[in-house]
Homo-oligomer: A and B are copies of this chain.
Amino acid sequence: MSPRRSSPARAAALERSAPLFAALGDPTRLRLVARLGGEGPLSIARLSAGAGVTRQAVTKHLRVLADAGLAHAARRGRESVWQLDRKRLEDARRHLDLISQQWDLALGRLRDFVEE
C-alpha cells in the first residue's frame, strides 16, 4: 500500500459526500439543523412551528437529512422525535479539511516551481 492514498480513491470518497453537502445546502434545512443542534431532539410539530413552511415541507426536509445520514427519528407515542447524527457532520468537516490541506500542498508546489 502507498502511504499517500491515490487520487482516484480520494476523489471517489469526496464525490460520495456531495449528497451530504447538498442536504446542508438549503436555508430551511440548515435552519432545522441549527434548531436541532441548539435545542436538542424535537418533534415534527414543534419544528414546524418555528419554520416558515408547512409541516409537510418540514417532513420532506427531515427525510432529506435522514437520507444524508445527518439525522434520524425515534417514534415516541404518536409523535416522531428527531435528532442529529453528529458523526456525519464531522465527516463533512473532515472532507473540507482534506481539500484545504491539499490546497496548501498544491500552492506550495506551485511556489517551488515558480521560484525554481
Contacts and interface: CB of A to CB of B under 8 A. Distances in A.
Interface of A: 7, 10-11, 14-15, 17-27, 29-31, 33-41, 84, 86, 89-90, 92-93, 96-97, 99-100, 102-104, 106-107, 109-110
A34 B93 CA distance: 15
A7 B38 CA distance: 8
Contacts of A100: 37, 86, 89-90, 93
A34 to B, nearest CB: 5
A102 B38 contact: yes
B18 A30 contact: yes
A104 B87 CA distance: 12
B27 A25 contact: no
